[in-house]
Every structure is written in structure tokens, then in C-alpha cells.
Amino acid sequence: MGRKLLLKDIDVPGIRSFEVYRKQGGYASVEKALKTMTPDAVMEEVKKSGLRGRGGAGFPTGMKWSFLDRKSDKPRYLICNADESEPGTFKDRYLMEYIPHALIEGMIVSSYALGAKASYIYMRGEFRWIFPILEKAIEEARAAGFIGKNILGTDYSLEVYVHSGAGAYICGEETAQIESLEGKRGNPRNKPPFPAVVGLYNCPTVVNNVESIAAVPPIINIGGDEYAKIGVGKSTGTKLISASGHINKPGVYEIELGLPVEEFLYSDEYCGGIWKGRKLKAVIPGGSSVPILPGDLFLKNAKGEPRVMSYESLADGGFASGSMLGSGGFIVMDETACIVRNLWTFARFYHHESCGQCSPCREGTGWMEKVLHRIETGHGKMSDIDLLVDVAKKIEGNTICPLGDAAAWPVASAIRHFREEFEYHIKYPEKVKDPKHFEKEPFVSERNAVVAA
Amino acid sequence: MADTKPVQFTDAAMALVQKIIKRYPEGRQKSALLPVLHIAQAEFGGWLSTETMDYVAGILNIKPIEVYEVASFYTMYNLQPVGKCVLEVCRTGPCWLRGSDDIIQYLEQKLGIKEGETTADGMFTLKTVECLASCGSAPMMQVGNHYIENLSVEKMDEVLNKLKETHNVPSPDYGSPYPVTPGK
């Protein structure tokens, strides 16, 4: 059983309430930070912890904090990115719904470190029922003196607000989120200037993912050095993984980074293996945007070494034979899954979610969706496969924000690893016209043998 | 379908709107636009008419075009009238892997409409949506404030009957992140 920091009290009855959360030791980090540490000392601990942004990019959180323009006399803002929309990812929702105070506690300590007097939690609008849960948690924390004027009798004052998005994946990108919070369309901004200098209302701003912020209290409680001992190498601490797809036990799991992928996928403590006694075909380990891996290449890297759940190990082999930990959106496909159809749903997603600002993304995502749809429905041509590769290449790196890359990578990796399956779709149009064709007659290529349990 | 209520917030709704505007710095009241549009949609029949959007522009002291361009960007805002009960079925990869295609197909047949349409009796609108962060309990759909998860074709009739009971009322609850009546 791995160490739990974020979900250790998830099964304690009533943990959603302030009273029970406090009894379990909650808000100790606020007392410690505000009464015994300077804001810079809090930042130093987060730096020492090696915590990396849990939203997907994996950028060191302490370093991101250190970029904040502290010389400016403008107000500073912390925005919590709770716009969880990456397909395959549902960990932030779980945390906010069941242990809302873990986020609120993290917001207070993080805001203190950054010198923010007002902080916003930008939550995707679809989580409608979680808004009252978070607002209640904020009010409870205020009543106990942890939010508001002169917190715990110190000079520090803070307000925390929940703000609603309205259905736009792009608003998970930090500059689009800032635009949206200003009441505009979610069009990402050109960088530089970075939000740390010119962010919300043109003021210095830090945007951090829910899980990153919730990881701050345990870091302050146990110390950055102690936190850094958990995990492996530069992948320190614990990570929430959202497990979905063809597994026996979908759900949110907190793991120590460095857990063997085989254990995560097959042990009953976690995913519990592939459902219906079937074989493993492919895994998307970090949300829809990261490269897909055939089962064998997911379990072991190209050198034949077993992979572990860490930023480095999952990326081992680069884009040729690796993937990314990303947001921890762990999507599993069994032997009957159709790679082309799954990819088409993703292409449709990115086309739908493109903000339309940059032509390579606006036009390219639509083009990829269209070509994939015709291949999937038995109307494809052999030249379509290379056309997809070409379009993906022309989107990648040519857009203001990373949505273009996120749309291109799944297409490029699916064709790299499963080209035979695309060719099969073109060779046997009559068969693939039935969307359930592979459920009846699984496709097996010699290159990517499915992996038995 | 189209609501006949005048476009005017109740006192309770207006009080909530004013409370939300105060969450943003002075002169930044436009920040309240997305929240206020959610409240307006829930209050005025589940969709945003031009009259409703103009009304919101007036409250926030911004130009109507600033409201239109936002309302048309975000998928949660309905710019056409909707049925009393809006079914939003997720169709992205993880839901598809667990059978969302079957759910959509069943609903289209059962209700006799295509996605994006409303039944002739004005009861149900069927929408397909992209990933709602419910992949571990797929397939699923959202109805107002609720996620209905772990769906199966076998369960759908029961689900629809229940929704008909709860939503076939003169002022159905369309859901909002900012409920005017707490606990609803």
C-alpha cells in the first residue's frame, strides 16, 4: 500500500465538513505557514519538494511561483485551474467533491506564499453541483478564521472565490482561462508576456492546477525535503491517477510516483486488470493529448525495461516509443477496441474545442476529423494515412497555445504504432462500416501483439 | 418551450447577481458575465434569447455584442429554446469505449429525434457533449445539476421515466452553478 497524502482521509465519514477535516489535522499548514514562516520560506519548501504541476505539463510549481513579478505594485492573483476537461481526467472533480477543504487549505497557503489578497477557483461550469460544496467550505473556513481579514490574528488577509466556466476545454489553458475570467471568449494570449508578469487584469498572476495546490499543505506539514523523498528521481510525491476504459476497477487512485505500471494496471488495489478477461491492446497514460502506446510498449520501454508511473519513465523513448504522464488520465483499451474510431472521437473533440484563433488548428483539426471519419466509415483512401500525418505535422508547433500539439500528437502516435489497422480499414471498407466490427473480430497485427494478463 | 416570463430577474436572483459582481475588482464587473449568464439561463427557461442577453449587458454595463460573442463561444449556453429536460450525453473516447454510442442511438430511437433536436411535446432535448470528466463512471449524461452515470441501454427507460416525472412541471429546474434557491 503506497503512501497517501491527498486522499488519506477520503473514507473518514463527514470529511467534507470543516469540523471533521479539522479533527483529522486539516488547516495545520495554514497555522504553520502564517504564524511561523515567511511567504518566501513557504515558496522555498515547495521548491525543495520538487512538486511538478499536476495539470499535465509537469512544470515545477515552486519555480513557477518564483517567476511572479514581486517588484510590481499591482495586486497579485492566484487562480486555481479547476477546468478539468482533458478526456480521461476526473481526479480534480473527485478531490473537490469529496475533500473540498484540501483545496481551500492549499489555496490559503499558496496565496500567502504569493502575496495574493484575492484568489479565484476557476471551475468548469458543468460541475454545477460542486459549486455549493466549495462555497460552503469557504464559508466554513471563514467562520473559523482561516479566510477573511487578519487570518489567525496575523496581518494577512485573503478572499477566495469560486468562478464558473461555461463549457470550453481551451479555458484549461492558463491565458485562455484568464481571458475567460475577465468575461471574454477563451482565446489564448500570445506569450510573452507570461501571466507571472501580465496576467489577470494585467496583474502578476499564477495559475495552478487543483491537485498541485492541494499538494502544498502536506508539503508544508512534512517539509519539502521529506516530500521529495517520496517518489522516484525528479518525479516526487504522490499523484492522482484517473483510470478509465476497459478495466475492472475504473476510478481515482493516489499512487506514489515510481509505482510499476504493471502493478497499477493489474493489481486489485488499483485498476484490477482488463475487464471481461480480455487482453490489453493499448494505453493512453496521461489524458487524450498524450501519445497512445501499444500494450507491450506501455508495460516495457523499447529496451525491454519495465516502466513505472513517473514523468521520466512514461516518456522514455521520446515520441518514437514513449508517451507522457500528462494529467494522469489513464485510458485503457482491450483487444476489441478500434484505434481508428477512438482517435476519431478525439479528433472530433479537438475540432470542437479549438478556439478558432490560429488557422493551422482551426482548419487542421477539422480536416483530421473529416479524414478520420471517412477512414472509420469505410470511405478512406490509402493516401489518407499520410495526409493525416502531414496535417498533424503542420499543426504541431504552429499555434499560439498547446491545443494544436494536443490535437496532433494522438494522430501521429496512433498512425506510428497502429498503421496496419488504418490500412485494414481502407482495405476492408465493408467490414469496418459496422462500428462494432472489432468486437466481433478483433484486429491483431504482428507488430503489436495484444498482451495477455 | 419558449418561456413567457418577462426578462426581469426576481429580487432573489438580482441579489445573487449583485453579490457575484462584488467578487471582482471595481470596474471589472464584466468578469461576472459567465456566472450571470448561467443564472439568466436557469431563470429564463433554459436558454438565452437576444432579450435576455441584452438585459444582462445592461446589468453589467457592457455592450450587447460583448455578451453575444461570449454566449456563442461557450457550449453550456443554449441559444435556442430547449425542452423541459435537456439530456447531454458524453461521447468522447473514454465514454465511447464503455458504450456511449449505444446510449445515443437508443435515445434517438426512443425519443424519435436526432441529437440537437427537441421532442414535439417539448419534453426532451437531446445534446451530445464532449468529455464531462466522468470517464471512470462511463457512459454518462448530464441533466441539469446532475450527472447520471454508469448508464446502460437496459436502464434508460427507467431513467427517462424518472426524468419525465421530475421535469414535467411548469418551471423545470435547468440547473446552475449559482442556484438562486440554495439546496435546489
DSSP output for B101-164 = HHHHHHHHHHHT--TT-B-TTS-EEEEEES--S-GGG-S-EEETTEEE-S--HHHHHHHHHHHH
Mean pLDDT throughout A105-114?
A: 98
What φ, ψ does residue B122 adopt, rounded to 5°? 75, 15
At A219, the amino acid letter reads: I
Contacts of B180 in chain A (CB under 8 A): none
pLDDT of residue B184: 53
Distance (Å) from the C-alpha of residue B172 to the closest C-alpha of chain A? 16
**Pairwise CA distance, residues B97 & B140, whole Å:** 12
Contacts of B37 in chain A (CB under 8 A): 166
Query: In this complex, do A201 and B25 lie within 8 Å of one another by their Cβ atoms?
Result: yes
**Residue pair A225/A46 in contact by the 8 Å Cβ criterion:** no
Where does CATH 1.20.1440.230 sit in chain A? Answer: 339-440
Residue A50 has pLDDT above 50, yes or no: yes
Contacts of B176 in chain A (CB under 8 A): 128
Contacts of A123 in chain B (CB under 8 A): 177
Give B152-168 pLDDT, tens digit per residue. Answer: 999 999 999 999 999 99
> β-strands A159-164, A77-82: how paired?
unpaired
Contacts of A333 in chain B (CB under 8 A): 97
Mean pLDDT throughout B1-25?
A: 87
In sequence order, the 6+-apart residues with CB closer than 8 A to the CB of A304 are: none
Angle at A411 between CA A408 and CA A412, to 5 degrees: 80
Nearest residue, CB atoms, B76 vs list A125, A243, A288: A125
Query: In this complex, do A128 and B77 lie within 8 Å of one another by their Cβ atoms?
Result: no
Give A21-40 pLDDT, tens digit per residue. Answer: 999 999 999 999 999 999 99
Among residues A82, A169, A155, which one has the least CA distance to residue A120?
Answer: A82
Query: In this complex, do B135 and A88 lie within 8 Å of one another by their Cβ atoms?
Result: yes
The architecture in CATH of the region B11-71 reads Orthogonal Bundle (1.10)
Best A86, A126, A138 member to test B by mutation, with max B CBs in 10 Å, is: A126
Mean pLDDT throughout A222-239?
A: 97
Count other C-beta atoms under 10 Å from residue B102's C-beta. Answer: 17
**What is the DSSP code (8-state) at residue A305?**
P
Angle at B67 between CA B61 and CA B69, to 5 degrees: 145
Nearest residue, CB atoms, A184 vs list B70, B135, B145: B70
**Pairwise CA distance, residues A389 & A387, whole Å:** 5
Give A382-413 pLDDT, tens digit per residue. Answer: 999 999 999 999 999 999 999 999 999 999 99
Contacts of A435 in chain B (CB under 8 A): 101
pLDDT of residue B1: 47
Percent of chain A at pLDDT above 90?
Answer: 95
pLDDT of residue A452: 72
**What is the DSSP code (8-state) at residue A307?**
P
End-to-end CA distance of chain B: 22
Distance (Å) from the C-alpha of residue A344 to the closest C-alpha of chain B? 9
pLDDT of residue A447: 79
Q: Which CATH number fits domain A239-334: 3.40.50.150, 3.10.20.600, 1.10.760.10, 3.30.565.10?
A: 3.10.20.600
Is B85 known as a binding-site position?
Answer: no
Angle at B133 between CA A270 and CA A21, to 5 degrees: 70
Query: In this complex, do A163 and B142 lie within 8 Å of one another by their Cβ atoms?
Result: no
Mean pLDDT throughout A270-281?
A: 96
Residue B51, exposed/middle/buried by CB under 10 A (0-12, 13-18, 19+)? Answer: exposed
**What is the DSSP code (8-state) at residue A113?**
H
Mean pLDDT throughout A251-273?
A: 98
In sequence order, the 6+-apart residues with CB closer than 8 A to the CB of A427 are: none
> β-strands A308-309, A259-260: how paired?
antiparallel
Percent of chain A at pLDDT above 70?
Answer: 100
**Residue pair A242/A270 in contact by the 8 Å Cβ criterion:** no
**Taking all residues of chain A, what is their mean pLDDT, rounded to a whole number?**
96
In CATH, the number for domain B85-167 is: 3.40.30.10
pLDDT of residue A445: 81
Among residues A300, A330, A339, which one has the least CA distance to residue A432?
Answer: A339
- H/E stretch holding A106 reads helix A100-114
pLDDT of residue A448: 73
Query: In this complex, do A132 and B179 lie within 8 Å of one another by their Cβ atoms?
Result: yes
What φ, ψ does residue A177 adopt, rounded to 5°? -65, -40
Contacts of B179 in chain A (CB under 8 A): 132
**Pairwise CA distance, residues A108 & A29, whole Å:** 9
Query: In this complex, do A183 and B145 lie within 8 Å of one another by their Cβ atoms?
Result: no
Contacts of B33 in chain A (CB under 8 A): 183
Best B96, B115, B137 member to test A by mutation, with max A CBs in 10 Å, is: B96
Q: At what angle do helices A39-49 and A100-114 cross, to 10 degrees?
A: 120
Q: Which residue of B has its CA nearest to A171?
A: B74
Q: Which residue of A has its CA nearest to B183?
A: A132
Best A244, A346, A377 member to test B by mutation, with max B CBs in 10 Å, is: A244
Count other C-beta atoms under 10 Å from residue B30's C-beta. Answer: 20
Query: In this complex, do B130 and A341 lie within 8 Å of one another by their Cβ atoms?
Result: no
pLDDT of residue A71: 95
Best A74, A128, A351 member to test B by mutation, with max B CBs in 10 Å, is: A128
pLDDT of residue A451: 79
Q: What Cα–Cα distance (Å) separates residue A28 from each residue in A33, A92, B108?
A: 9, 22, 53
**What is the DSSP code (8-state) at residue A230?**
S
Q: Which residue of A has its CA nearest to B142?
A: A126
* Cell of residue B57, nine digits: 449587458
Residue A119 has pLDDT above 90, yes or no: yes
Query: In this complex, do B31 and A183 lie within 8 Å of one another by their Cβ atoms?
Result: yes
Give B34-83 pLDDT, tens digit per residue. Answer: 999 999 999 999 999 999 999 999 999 999 999 999 999 999 999 999 99
Distance (Å) from the C-alpha of residue B119 to the closest C-alpha of chain A? 23
* Cell of residue A72, nine digits: 510590481
**Residue pair A47/A224 in contact by the 8 Å Cβ criterion:** yes
Secondary-structure class of domain A18-229 per CATH:
alpha beta
**Residue pair B66/B57 in contact by the 8 Å Cβ criterion:** yes
For the CA atoms of A319, A325, A330, A333, the dihedral, rounded to the nearest 10 degrees, stands at: 20
**Pairwise CA distance, residues A122 & A200, whole Å:** 12
**Residue pair A12/A19 in contact by the 8 Å Cβ criterion:** no
What φ, ψ does residue A315 adopt, rounded to 5°? -90, -5
**Residue pair A289/A410 in contact by the 8 Å Cβ criterion:** yes
**Residue pair A432/A377 in contact by the 8 Å Cβ criterion:** yes
For the CA atoms of A313, A315, A319, A321, the dihedral, rounded to the nearest 10 degrees, stands at: 20
Where does CATH 3.10.20.600 sit in chain A? Answer: 239-334
Give A184-199 pLDDT, tens digit per residue. Answer: 999 999 999 999 999 9
**Pairwise CA distance, residues A396 & B88, whole Å:** 31
Secondary-structure class of domain A339-440 per CATH:
mainly alpha
Distance (Å) from the C-alpha of residue A229 to the closest C-alpha of chain B? 30
End-to-end CA distance of chain A: 22
Bond into A87 cis (ω within 30): no
In sequence order, the 6+-apart residues with CB closer than 8 A to the CB of A381 are: A426
**Pairwise CA distance, residues A52 & A134, whole Å:** 24
- H/E stretch holding A45 reads helix A39-49
Residue B4 has pLDDT above 80, yes or no: no
**Percent composition of chain A: helix, strand, coil (DSSP 3-state, to 5):** 45, 15, 40
Among residues A291, A298, A266, A285, which one has the least CA distance to residue A327?
Answer: A285
Nearest residue, CB atoms, B34 vs list A131, A164, A244: A164
